[in-house]
Structure 1
Amino acid sequence: MDKYVTRSKIGYPSSSSTNPSTALTIAPKIQQKIFISDVDLESLEADLAIRKPIAEYNPNIRDDIRRYYILKNPCQPKDHKFPKTKFGKEMRQFFPNWFKDRLSFHGHDESRSSSNRGIFLELLRWYGDLNKDVGSIILEKALKNEMMCSPSIQKDIVDFCSKETIKSILEDLDGDYFGILVDESKDISRKEKMTLVLRYVNKEGKVIERFVGIVHVSVTSACSLKEAIYSFLSVHSLSPPQIRGQGYDGANNMQGHLNGLKTFVFNETPSAYCIHCFAHQLQLTLVALAKKDSNVDDFFA
């Protein structure tokens, strides 16, 4: 081959080097440094609305650009002037300092002088400002020790509100047929839980979907999920024969033809037809698109 082709010396070190193969491994690194040096990573704009699309960068450095954006963490427009919106008699707006607050149900310091008393007390105070009748009898204005500051009392109130909400949903359902939408996941404490949504047609002929609860399950087998669903329905005076539809993701314990939740419910209620959850179908579609189009990948990343 050397008789017919003249070897190029581009990318090789000086003639003093006796190992050309080493230069071949060094060349790509030198080329990579040139690409990175063309982009000042520190000056990259984090705001999605105004930053340069990743697809417009050289393909050899796109991964580095993505990695840098990930390391920058979520974009928080702290210098932005947020517009004001009128709520009641006051003009309110978002404050960048809220990025640093704790969105906890109970505050670390729930005293009157605290700037963040927790979600429950802050919302209660906010509602009291809007409704003077309520504001005159809550928190520090309450009689004797009826301030509702005890954690156990706060949980009782939230539980009562939850029951009243479900009661309102069931009144809207009015004993008619419904479909169930079920998904499962783990919470921050690594405990398995199941979410349940009812889908039905209300008295006005509109299709309604209502989230009705989170049920903790010890195991996520199809049999355990079925028993948890039926138990929840029984507590709220709903029966399995009223089920007219099922919606799950594509997991085997959900849609398995032999031992899936879909099959167990369908065997007892033949009218409960199953459809793959549209939200999960959309997710699978987006995953497929992201693999084919870098712009879609960048948008959702």
Structure 2
Amino acid sequence: MAASPARLLRVEANLLPPVSTAIDRLPPLLDLIPRLAGLESGSPSARRLDPSPRTDLPSDPGLRPRITDYHPNDRNQVRRAYAQRGTCQPKEHIFPYKTYGAKDRRFNKGWFTQFNWLEYSIAKDAAFCLCCYLFKSDIGEQAGGDTFVSEGFSNWKCPKKLKIHEGGINSSHRQASRMCDDLLKPNQSIQSFHFKQTDQARIEYRTRLNASIDCIRFLLRQGLAFRGHDESEDSSNQGNFLELLRFLADHNEDIKAVTLRNALENNMLISPAIQKDIRMVQPQSKKEKQNISHTLYNLLDLCLIFI
């Protein structure tokens, strides 16, 4: 006797793969939290230090491992050791010349006096920044690049970039510099200033995050591209996402006060990586939106603990 159509449908339905739901898409968000907070945990093979004070950490900034290469439980110890040691400034070193066109130029030791954060690597003949090495955020494009952290700056014909690196009052460098100063205060623990968040900071962070989410939702709904061909500061069209966010800020003072130029450089929430992560967790239906919204914002709020 042939099986009924209803029975065949039930059998075939059991063979289908499970349907993805909004909650199914939440696990990647757990990986997103440290990225939004700028606190990547590093690889499983990150080096582990013993509890005793370290004196064998490389002094030459060009030979140092990145802070994120150390085990998460050891990073504070490494930071404190380097902060107490101070900048590497070999003032008696004979700095080699480099040829730029018809002129020979070299590192100017007078820059040590002008920029107290400045370090020089004899191994790489390059300049580095101690405070950014210790506390620079790793949030993609919002982190200010790796020139003064791991690559080294050696364009001696353009010393104005040393001043540009310092940036404004809320630049990544200024923020890292304040963290270094706080770290050296007596009885000051890293956690007490590195993880502290005020209620005002939470409000500003959520306003900034909601603005990015609203822009992404609009672009997805309209089927528009996010990126622009030229997203530099002097570009006449930085792409749909950034232009829409700027339009939103121009018409809302609360958003304007905490986004783009008015946000901390390492916490703008506008990098392509952040756009992609937010896009991944956008619900596809009204029901999914209701299911995901509460869990989503609870998880994103955890980021504030680590900023």
Is the pair's TM-score, using the shorter chain for normalization, greater than 0.5?
Answer: no
RCO comparison, higher one (Cα < 8 Å, 6+): 2
Largest Rg, 1 or 2: 1
TM-score range, shorter chain: under 0.3
TM-score, length-scaled by structure 2:
0.22
- Between Structure 1 and Structure 2, the one with more helix by share is 2
